[in-house]
Amino acid sequence: MQIDVISTVEGVEQLKAPWDELYSRSNTTVFMHHSWICKSYKYIPPLEIVLIAVYGNKKKLLGVFPFAIEDFRIKGIKCKVLTGGGSGLSDYCSFLIDPDSNIRLMIGRVIEYLLTMQNERWDYFKYDRLSDNDPTADLFRHLLKKYLYGGDFSSEVTPRVDFHYAYEDAKKVGNVKRRFKKVLLHSSLTHQIGAEIDSSSLAEFCVLHQQSYPDAAFNRPTTQKFFLELIADCSFRENVVYTTIRNNEEIMAAHFGFADAERFYYYVPTYNKKFSDNGPGQYLLWNLICDAKSRNIKIFDFLRGGESYKYNWMNSIATNYTVFAVSKDASWLKKMVVNIWLFNKSLPFFVRSHTDWMV
């Protein structure tokens, strides 16, 4: 097993062919697609790129582990952390590993290698968005705690609809239809996939999204450049789905997201406040769920966030975890910082879970 470290966008670009081949055989998400990771590094650059490529016999790519070094502040004190690559735009952080490989052994070797190269390059390990529904990410989380001094906490939930189980409530659907009935006659729903989506589609969506969520990261120029590049990328754009509901050509609600053979990713929805009484967002969501089921997709993933409207549809839920740690031979001061940081982050979840009975 050979480990190489790639620290430039050009180096990541050169991995495309073997990465795509490994991606096609792996059970992973669109957030581990070569185009997603590579363009994240390019348009939302971290302080340093640390991408680990693991090779087997005859230089066959067996694993891809995207990391990044970022600036971080703890109570105003500046430090550096090793975190996941792919930027905060990824709802999940994971890895590509050959399914025929010894996954536990490979992850262990990668963590050991990271410890040898740390030196003064970063102070802490801070890895976010590790889903307990992703066996690879979950194993990485547990092995990090074995090799390092630190811990984890549940940072966010990811509701979902699993189409293997019942999810649709006739009364709930009836309420959605009833609210939308007044504008149904002059309304139309359109799905655009892949090459059907262009820069004007994204621009149209951004105008509406900015009106409702002016401070959202999605509206930043660097983020827009990132998504424009994804739409133009022939190897990725077939995963992009842009859906709108219009009333006499005026957008009532829209959704920008992704889909693969297994999963629909409910990524960024928005709606026109002018039509809020008609519930166009809920009507669009119901149609997206129906469309995903009709295409034999297994999971409708709401991604990060526990917004109440998601709970009206979900029938299963997963949790994203954050690991914060230092090497076991770190100073007592750094270990104390880890303990305090984890305590502060975990306390709100502890208090909430132990006061639910009082509500």
Q: What is the pLDDT of residues 143-164, one digit of tens each?
A: 999 999 999 998 899 999 999 8
User: Which residue shows structure tokens 């006499």?
Assistant: 248
Q: Provide CATH 3.40.630.30 ranges for the chain.
A: 2-157+318-358, 165-297
Structure tokens at 281: 């967002």
Taking only the tens place, the pLDDT of each residue in 280-315 is 889 999 999 999 999 999 999 999 988 888 988 899
Cα 93 to Cα 291: distance, rounded to the nearest angstrom = 27
Q: Are 31 and 24 in contact (CB under 8 A)?
A: no
> Cβ distance 242 to 200 under 8 Å?
no
Query: Domain 2-157+318-358 belongs to what topology?
Result: Aminopeptidase (3.40.630)
HSE-CB at 249 with a 13 A cutoff on CA atoms is 0
- Domain at 165-297, CATH class: alpha beta
Question: Between the CA of residue 119 and those of 50, 183, 250, what are the distances in Å?
Answer: 14, 62, 56
Residue 349: pLDDT band with limits 50, 70, 90: low
- What is the structure's pLDDT at 356? 37
- d(CA 47, CA 50) in angstroms, rounded, equals 10
Least trusted range by pLDDT, from 108-112, 185-189, 197-201: 185-189
Q: How many residues does the chain have?
A: 359
* DSSP-derived pairing of the beta strands 263-271 and 250-259: antiparallel
Distance of CA 97 to the CA centre of its chain: 18
The string of DSSP codes covering 16-34 is HHHHHHHHHTS---GGGSH
For 112-124, the DSSP string reads HHHHHHHTTS-SE
- C-alpha to C-alpha distance for 238 and 308, rounded to whole angstroms: 30
State the pLDDT at residue 351: 39
Q: How far apart are CA 197 and CA 58, in angstroms?
A: 40
Average pLDDT over residues 183-192: 82
Class of residue 229 by CB neighbours under 10 A (exposed 0-12, middle 13-18, buried 19+) = middle
The pLDDT value given to residue 357: 34
Decide: residue 312, CB within 10 A, 0-12 exposed, 13-18 middle, 19+ buried. Answer: middle
> What is the pLDDT confidence band of residue 31, given thresholds at 50, 70 and 90?
very high
Three-state secondary structure call for residue 190: strand
User: What is the mean pLDDT of the segment spanning 91-97?
Assistant: 94
Beta strands at 240-247 and 250-259: parallel, antiparallel or unpaired = antiparallel
Query: What pTM was estimated for this model as a whole?
Result: 0.91
